[in-house]
Amino acid sequence: MSSTRFTDALTRLVDALPEPDDFPSTARNRELTARVGTWLGACFLLAFLTGVWSHLAQLPDPVLPLPTRPVWLYRVTQGVHVAAGTAAVPLLLVKLWSVFPQLFRRPPAVRRAQLLDAAERLSILVLVSSTSFQLVSGLANSAQWYPWSFSFRATHFAIGWVAMGALLVHVAVKLPVIRTAWLEPQGQPAQGTVSRRTVLGVTWAAAAVAVVTTAASSVPGVRRLSVLATRTGTGPGGIPVNKTAAAAGVAKAAADPAFALVVAWGDTERRFSRADLEAMPQTTATLPIACVEGWSASGVWGGVRVADLVDLVGAPTGSAVLVESLQRVGASSRSRLPGNVAADREAILALTLAGEPLSLDHGYPCRVIAPNRPGALQTKWVSRLEVRP
Ligand SMILES: Nc1nc2c(c(=O)[nH]1)N[C@H]1C(S)=C(S)[C@@H](COP(=O)(O)O)O[C@H]1N2
Ligand SMILES: [Mo]
C-alpha cells in the first residue's frame, strides 16, 4: 500500500469514528464529572495513605518501629483502605462513563497543541490503567483469589505510587475545569431521560452500599451484611477462621500431644510443652485480628507474655523475636516481632480465646497475638521463637 493510500484509509477510518457530540446526554456534564471525580480522588488518596501505612506495618524489619497503641489502629486503617477501594469502583465507572466521549475528540490542528493533547491522553491512559489495576487486584485479594503469579503486596504497592503520580498530574492539568465546575455550575436543561441528579444519587448509593458491605465485615452483629467480603461467618470464640489447620497442612502436628515449643537465644534452647506453658503466669488481652483483606474481629486472648519467654532464656528485654509456625510453606508461616512489640505487655503467645482453649483452626497449641498489627503477622501453630540480638 502506498503511503498516500494509507493516509487516505486512515482519514476515512477517523471520519467514521463517532465524535463527542454523538453521545448526547443531559446527565453527562462537567459538574457530574467534577463531583464524582473529587470523591474518587478522595477515595484514592485515603486508600494510598492507608496502603503505605499497611505496607510499612508488614515490613519484616521496619525502619521506624510502629507504635503498639492504640491497639485498634491498624484495624481501622485497613478497614478504611478496603472500604475506600471498594467505594472507588462505582465512582470510577461513573467517572469514566461521564467523560468517555472525550476519547473521540479529534486532535487539534496545531503541532504544539497536538503534542500537549497526546501527553494528556497518555497521562490519562496511565491513570486509568493503574487505578483499574489497583481496584481489580485489591478486590481479588479481598476475595482471596490470586489469578496471577506476581507478589500481590509488592505490585499493589508499586502501582499505588504510579496511580498517585498520575492522579497528581491529572488534578494539576484539570484544576481550572474542576474549579469552574464547582464554583460556577451551569445548571442543566430540563428535558432528557436521566437527570444528573439521578446519576449522582445512584452513584452515591452504590458507593455507600460498597462501604457498608465492606465495613460490616468488622462489626459484630451486622457481619452478615458484608456480602462483599469472603470472611462472613464467625468461627470459634467469635473470630472468623482465615486458614484452617487442615488447609495449612498442620492438623496432625498441631494435635500431637508430644508437641513442644522451642524458645532459642544464641546457644540456649528451651522446650515447653503445652502443659508447661499453661503452668506459667497467664495474662489476658482484648485484641483484634485485623486482616489485610479488610475483615477484623476482636477477642479476649489468654496466654503467656512473649516478654516472659524472652526473659526465661536470659535474653535482654526489647530483643526482636523471630516466630516460626509448624506450617512449613506460605508467607504466613513465619513473622517477626520487632523489639518494641516483643516487649509489650499485650504481646502474647496465646493459649486460649474467649476463655476456651484455642481451637485447632485458630492456632492450637499456641499462636502469636500482639497489638496494632496486620492479621497476617499473628502467626498460628507457633513451633519456635528465636530471640535475636
Ligand atoms: N501459620 C499461619 N499463621 C497465620 C496464617 C496462616 O495462613 N498460617 N494466616 C494469617 C492471617 S492472613 C490472618 S488474617 C490471621 C487470621 O487468624 P484466624 O484464622 O485465627 O482468624 O492469621 C494469620 N496467621
Ligand atoms: Mo489476613
d(CA 235, CA 244): 11
pTM above 0.85, yes or no: yes
CB-facing half-sphere around the CA of 171: CA atoms within 13 A = 15
Contact 335 CB / ligand 1 (< 6 Å): no
Q: Is 214 exposed, middle or buried (0-12, 13-18, 19+ CB in 10 A)?
A: buried
- In this predicted structure, the answer to whether residue 297 has a pLDDT above a threshold of 80 is yes
Residue reference for cell 444519587: 201
- Domains of the chain listed by start with CATH number: 3-225 (no CATH), 238-388 (3.90.420.10)
Q: Which three cell numbers mark 280?
A: 506459667
Ligand nearest to the CA of 360: 1
Probe residue for ligand 1, chosen from 296, 378, 379, 383 as the CB with the greatest number of ligand atoms within 8 Å = 378
Closest ligand 1 atom number to CA of residue 292: 14
Model confidence over 261-296: pLDDT tens digits?
999 999 999 999 999 999 999 999 999 999 999 899
Contact 217 CB / ligand 1 (< 6 Å): no
Task: Judge contact between 326 and 50, C-beta under 8 A.
Answer: no
Contact 325 CB / ligand 1 (< 6 Å): yes
Contact 241 CB / ligand 1 (< 6 Å): yes
Nearest Cα to Cα of residue 270 among 163, 387, 184, 179: 387
Closest ligand 1 atom number to CA of residue 333: 1
d(CA 75, CA 208): 20
CA 153 to centroid of ligand 1, rounded, Å: 16
Q: What is the DSSP letter of 318?
A: T
Count of residues making up the chain: 389
pLDDT-derived band at 193 (thresholds 50, 70, 90) equals low
**Residue nearest atom 5 of ligand 1, based on CA coordinates:** 332
CA 59 to centroid of ligand 2, rounded, Å: 15
CA 96 to centroid of ligand 1, rounded, Å: 38
∠ at Cα 300 (298, 301), nearest 5°?
Answer: 110
Model confidence over 109-165: pLDDT tens digits?
999 999 999 999 999 999 999 999 999 999 998 887 888 888 899 999 999 999 999
Print burial letters for 127-155: b (CB count within 10 Å at least 16), e (below 16). Answer: bbebbebbbebbeebbeeeeeeeeeebee
- 1-15, 68-82, 373-387: least confidently modelled range: 1-15
pLDDT-derived band at 232 (thresholds 50, 70, 90) equals low
- In this predicted structure, the answer to whether residue 1 has a pLDDT above a threshold of 60 is no
Task: Judge contact between 289 and 78, C-beta under 8 A.
Answer: no
At 79 the pLDDT is 94
Contact 378 CB / ligand 1 (< 6 Å): yes
Q: What is the DSSP letter of 71?
A: T
At 85 the pLDDT is 96
d(CA 272, CA 270): 7
d(CA 188, CA 196): 8
d(CA 356, CA 51): 35
- 60-74, 114-128, 211-225, 339-353: least confidently modelled range: 211-225
From residue 170, give the alpha-carbon distance in Å to each of 32, 167, 215, 281: 17, 5, 30, 58
Residue type at 106 in one-letter notation: R
At 189 the pLDDT is 54
Residue type at 218 in one-letter notation: S
